[in-house]
Structure 1
Amino acid sequence: MFDYNRRKSLKTLACCSAIFAMPNISFGKTNAKDIEKWDEVFDAIVVGSGFAGSAAMLSLLDNGVKNCIMIDKMQYLGGNSAYSGGSMAVAGTPIQERDGIKDDPESQIKDTLKSGHNLNDLELVKEMIYKGPQTFKWLVDNGVNFKWVSRSGGHSVPRSHSAGAGSYITRPLQRKILEKGGKIATRVIMDEIIYDENGAVVGIKVREKYEFNFEHGFEEKNNKSGKIKFYRCYGGLVLATGGWGADVNFRQKFDPALRADVLSTNHLGATAYTAEKLISDDIKFIDMQYIQRMHVTSADEPFFGFAYRWITRGYAYGIMVNPKTGLRFVNEIVDRKVGSDAIWAMNEGGKNHPILIMDMDGTKTVDVKDFQRGLSVGAIKKFDTMDELVEFYKINKEPFLEQLKRYNSYVDEASKNKDFRDPEFNRNFSDYKGKYIKVEKPPFFASRPGPKVHHCMGGVKTTIDGEVYNNDLKIVPNLYACGELTGGRHGFNRLGSNAVLDCLVYGQKAGEKLAKVYNAKRGV
């Protein structure tokens, strides 16, 4: 089913490119013999409190490691995870069965490798996807309430399961952590990893009462706030500190086009502070040149914003056009990389944003609260007639109306033949609860998509259990990593909602592996 030889050759080329792209940072490690005393002692420490960190922490507790702590440098928990869309791609769930959606893991694997240009680590991809239904059930058992399933760009069927927002996943997990006696601390930043004479991780240097500087452009390495402490960890350390999409200087080392004027969905704490420490400690990084821009965000609001839910459904049930030509310019349901590149190619440096349009029936597919948030901030606009919409956005009217007629005819054809693909962009169409939705019923709604830096596909190279490799491809004892800090799962481009799955599956696995190794050492 997959072209393994092509995947191998492309992966080799990509790894070579990544080596040349790595920043020049001098190596230097902190040794345990230099630590006079330990201020705190734990069995395990988790750094980061998003999807991956919360899953790892709860997994530790579930597997008998009780004296553990999860720390976060920010004043709040969850990082990007908490305020992300929080949709998780899973193939084969009760919600899909309820909605009559036929899906299987092999289909999701195929979609994932296609989007990743076969540069993904196949073993990691298969583990991630086959563990999906089990992880879905684990979340439900721990209080997460998934409400609906939708189709994200690049997926062949609807499989993106949403609880409403990312915090609707992180908060239930964190409640369970506290119920089970786990410790959680904010405003604690990790400065250094501490190793013994054999290269095994034995603790970390931190600063408590850390004050993150929210000034745009401020470099975290210049922030000296907080009180230095040393934490011992007998079982191991799990790193789940996320990506570096908000770190302009670091991301430009790998993609110079991602200048400061290119907005990001990430919270300001998404810096490369931990990544740079790991690079200096000789930890292996891969695929760093692949940084994703996401095209389901609005050009009319900063950061992640509120319109993304409507825009996501707009791609599935609406039409997107270049206002200058009045014509479609890309298959609306392509993956994030193709969609973002197409928008950037036509928007003239941000002067000519595309217009995404849905009618009333299409908009009804969006949760009313999510829709109202986007409408309230002006990122989604309402028009009683199509003429009003055309005039407001200065859309080239006659070509647009002809384009709209053709688009609606394609939806009609799809309602008769599920295998139909539109002749202009080879798009297929999905029904919503048995109905195929055209753009014809007033009022009409529109938004201006604007791609923003969103996800870092590259990161720490790990085993299938989250164990970390150094640059000699040897496993670093007692060190684990998961989530966006790691690389290999997504290759060239990540499919929407695969990241939540990645974080939760591999967060769980990292916690399980640490617990298994540590429990064996202490005879538990």
Structure 2
Amino acid sequence: MESYDLIILGGGLAGMCAAVEAGEQGEDVLLLEKQDELGGSTVLSSGYMAFAGTDMQEKAGIIDSTESLLADMTEVGGGVNDQSLVAEYGRHQLETYQWLVDHDIEFRSLEAVSGHSVPRGHIIDPHQAIQSLYKRVKQLKNVKVYFNAPARRLLKNDKGRIDTVFYEKDGVERKAVASKGVVIASGGFAKSEELLGQFAPQLKGALRIGGAGSQGDGIRMAWEHGAWVKDLPYLNGTYGFHPSAAGKLKSQGLAFYKGAIMVNQLGKRFVNESISYKLLGKAAFDQPDQISYQVWDQTVMAKGVIDDPLYDFELLMKRRLLYKADTLEELADCIDVPVEVLEDTISRYNQGVQNGEDPDFGRRSLTHNYGKPTAIETAPFYAFESTVAMLATYAGVSVNAAAQVLNPFGEHIPGLYAAGEVTGGFHGAGYMTGSSLGKAAVFGRIAVREALSASAVI
């Protein structure tokens, strides 16, 4: 039987950060990846990471703080986030940013994104990040990575500690023992119709575009040993995907954070467009046929950001996914909504912008507390048909600030740790852009440090 210090389940950002952290501390590590390549849902993400007080912000003249970051996170989460997790993120976020930089992860630019009071969306190329970490792993002779090796079950030893992983490789059932801990970093369940049917039946019909391996394996394995779960009631889809995103191209645009409005097939607004796009997804899913349109003008179009995963409007145009018209009447005809209603909707919105108060939904910013809306009045005009997708599930097993998996009584399950999308409690009722990849990196490393620390006193 194989024996290691640590076994890590999953090769997304959380798992890879954990593997590098453990390997650099000289531990013998086995990372089991279910698929034939690394990345999981990480490489499907927009690549934003939420950090405050970075050198990138300083160079851009942006004043920010950890306190502001955590306040935004709590506000977006509806105040039901586990504050011990939020606080732990705050203690390690800047250090984690620097650790990623030191490990050759490239931060390309900085944007204002959902849930932030200042621009703090630090953009990475998720593929580049994963490959940089893998390059480092391959330099560490004490770290093994097995591909096409799904973990199946966990087993406790006679002292009640999780220490054995049953997994498959090359069609053969195998098992390995971890003397210091098992870290579940296996992602969520966005591709499990069974679990989505159990916990998010309201999202039936949402596009399914999560990672192929996102079947909830880690949650099931933890459940078997008494793990509690958190945030399941707050599951929502992600808004802003074109209906064709279920195919090869995952086209998404969030023009409303640059000043667009959202209208349904009746030509009417239905929500404050500055809130978290997870909550926008909930509102949009309630509209007729679960379809809505982002509508904007040339002023907003000019705010597009080339190569940005969420704001590259020119790319959407090149893919022929945008409607473009010289008048609102023509645009209404393109998207088949009542002309008079659309014109009245935009006129009323513009009047609110001029008066400094949105009379219908109280919109005062572009995103969260940042930016000022502008009137939609400069031709040409644009529309982007948008719907809701299940990209990731921001809910899962309960953990404490040490990344230890907890039972229903708040007691940790000895030997078992979790990080990344598989965990719940951190996001709460909403989602702040960049906090998912951020928590993966932060808690992936914390899980390793805590496992090694705990084993030292056993």
TM-score by length of 2: 0.89
Distance across 1 between alignment mates of 2:358 and 2:91: 32
2:289 pairs with 1:349: yes
Q: Which position in structure 2 is the counterpart of 1:474?
A: 411
Distance 1:333 1:229, change over 3 A: same
Summarize the alignment of residues 410-429 of structure 1 with structure 2, pairs less than 5 Å apart.
420-429=356-365
**Mean alpha-carbon deviation: is it higher for 355-364 or for 117-126?**
355-364
Distance across 2 between alignment mates of 1:146 and 1:422: 36
Q: Percent identity?
A: 25
Q: Which position in structure 1 is the counterpart of 2:4?
A: 42
Q: Which position in structure 1 is the counterpart of 2:431?
A: 494
The offset of 1:429, in angstroms, is: 3.2
Post-superposition CA distance 1:323-353 (Å, at most 9, x none): 423x43222111134312221222x133x53
Distance across 1 between alignment mates of 2:361 and 2:248: 28
Summarize the alignment of residues 59-458 of structure 1 with structure 2, pairs less than 5 Å apart.
59-65=21-27, 67-163=28-124, 165-181=125-141, 182-209=143-170, 226-259=171-204, 261-302=205-246, 305-308=249-252, 311-325=253-267, 327-346=268-287, 348-350=288-290, 352-359=291-298, 362-368=301-307, 371=312, 373-383=315-325, 386-405=328-347, 407-408=349-350, 420-429=356-365, 439-458=376-395
Distance 1:168 1:443, change over 3 A: farther
SS for the counterpart of 1:455 is coil
Distance across 2 between alignment mates of 1:289 and 1:328: 26
User: 8 Å contact 1:86–1:167 — kept in the other structure?
Assistant: no
User: 8 Å contact 2:39–2:130 — kept in the other structure?
Assistant: yes
The offset of 1:314, in angstroms, is: 3.7
Q: Which position in structure 2 is the counterpart of 1:508?
A: 445
Structure 1 letter corresponding to 2:321: A
TM-score by length of 1: 0.78
SS for the counterpart of 1:366 is coil
Distance 1:256 1:402, change over 3 A: closer
Distance 1:146 1:206, change over 3 A: same
Structure 1 letter corresponding to 2:427: H
Distance 1:437 1:136, change over 3 A: farther
Structure 2 letter corresponding to 1:146: F
Post-superposition CA distance 1:149-189 (Å, at most 9, x none): 223333333222212x4223222222222223332221001
The offset of 1:60, in angstroms, is: 0.9
The offset of 1:463, in angstroms, is: 2.0
Distance 1:202 1:399, change over 3 A: closer
Post-superposition CA distance 1:420-461 (Å, at most 9, x none): 553432223359x99976545555443112112233333222
**Mean alpha-carbon deviation: is it higher for 124-133 or for 186-195?**
124-133
The offset of 1:246, in angstroms, is: 1.4
User: 8 Å contact 2:397–2:423 — kept in the other structure?
Assistant: yes
Distance across 1 between alignment mates of 2:318 and 2:366: 28
The offset of 1:295, in angstroms, is: 0.8
SS for the counterpart of 2:20 is helix
Post-superposition CA distance 1:193-222 (Å, at most 9, x none): 12210111222111003xxxxxxxxxxxxx
User: 8 Å contact 1:313–1:366 — kept in the other structure?
Assistant: no
Distance across 2 between alignment mates of 1:341 and 1:430: 19
Distance across 1 between alignment mates of 2:402 and 2:247: 33
User: 8 Å contact 1:265–1:304 — kept in the other structure?
Assistant: no
Distance 1:138 1:437, change over 3 A: farther
Distance across 1 between alignment mates of 2:107 and 2:47: 10
User: 8 Å contact 2:258–2:300 — kept in the other structure?
Assistant: no
Distance across 2 between alignment mates of 1:197 and 1:399: 69
Distance 1:412 1:367, change over 3 A: farther
Structure 2 letter corresponding to 1:334: I
The offset of 1:499, in angstroms, is: 0.9
Distance across 2 between alignment mates of 1:331 and 1:342: 10
Structure 2 letter corresponding to 1:275: I
Post-superposition CA distance 1:102-149 (Å, at most 9, x none): 332222322222232222111111211342222111111111121222
Distance 1:380 1:456, change over 3 A: same
User: 8 Å contact 1:356–1:449 — kept in the other structure?
Assistant: no
Q: Which position in structure 1 is the counterpart of 2:17?
A: 55
SS for the counterpart of 2:240 is coil
SS for the counterpart of 1:357 is strand
Distance 1:435 1:256, change over 3 A: closer
User: 8 Å contact 2:182–2:416 — kept in the other structure?
Assistant: yes
Post-superposition CA distance 1:350-400 (Å, at most 9, x none): 3x5333335265355322475365345443344465554332112333443
Distance across 2 between alignment mates of 1:488 and 1:434: 29
SS for the counterpart of 2:202 is coil
Aligned length: 452
Q: Which position in structure 2 is the counterpart of 1:219?
A: none
Distance across 2 between alignment mates of 1:480 and 1:234: 13
SS for the counterpart of 1:252 is helix
Distance 1:384 1:175, change over 3 A: farther
Distance across 2 between alignment mates of 1:59 and 1:425: 46
Distance 1:307 1:358, change over 3 A: farther
Distance 1:166 1:368, change over 3 A: closer
